[in-house]
Amino acid sequence: MRYHNITKDDMLNGEGLRVVLWVAGCSHGCKNCQNPITWDPNGGLPFDEAAKAEIFAELEKDYISGITFSGGDPLYMGNREDVTALAKEIKEAFPDKKTWLYTGYLWEEVSALPIMPYLDVIVDGRFVEELKDPQLHWKGSFNQRIIDVQKSLEKGTMYLYHAE
């Protein structure tokens, strides 16, 4: 896996203050994407032990609510195995921290992936320029959904996330 950035104390990509891992690789090609530089799966830097240590150091802080995986697309075929392993390791080390993931795939396409037990919230769907609204919280366009992953898995149907 490769990545472009690790953002600290982020308030825009999920609930609370978060650390965000911006992975490389995306095949959706959304018009006017905010991060087209992250589309190239060979771009950015190799995700190594130093990058992982940086994320874990942030998650150890009491005021950090959790991690958000974004990009690119964390569920891009070339990222799935590594992102799943990292999400699992984070959930085991920090079970009370919330894990968010942004993907251009739809819930219906990815809900059976092995990463799901380690996620709390997914924001799904491609960014659609014509449905953009800067007033939306945690998503860029109206078509995107903020999904409570664990409740959806438990109930067998999709549940939208509601902030506590």
Domains in the chain with CATH codes:
2-155 (3.20.20.70)
HEC string of the chain equals CEEEEEEEEECCCCCCCEEEEEECCCCCCCCCCCCHHHCCCCCCEECCHHHHHHHHHHHCCCCCCEEEEEECCCCCCCCHHHHHHHHHHHHHHCCCCEEEEECCCCHHHHCCCCCHHHCCEEEECCCCHHHECCCCCCCCECCCEEEEHHHHHHHCCCCECCCC
Is this prediction's pTM over 0.85?
Answer: yes
Angle at 147 between CA 143 and CA 153, to 5 degrees: 135
pLDDT band per the 50, 70, 90 thresholds, residue 164: low
Average pLDDT over residues 23-31: 96
Q: How far is CA 18 from CA 97, 126, 147, in A?
A: 9, 22, 18
For position 56, what pLDDT does the model report? Answer: 98
C-alpha count within 13 angstroms, C-beta hemisphere, residue 115: 28
pLDDT band per the 50, 70, 90 thresholds, residue 21: very high
Q: How far apart are CA 56 and CA 60, in angstroms?
A: 6
pLDDT band per the 50, 70, 90 thresholds, residue 95: very high
Q: How far apart are CA 87 and CA 18, in angstroms?
A: 14
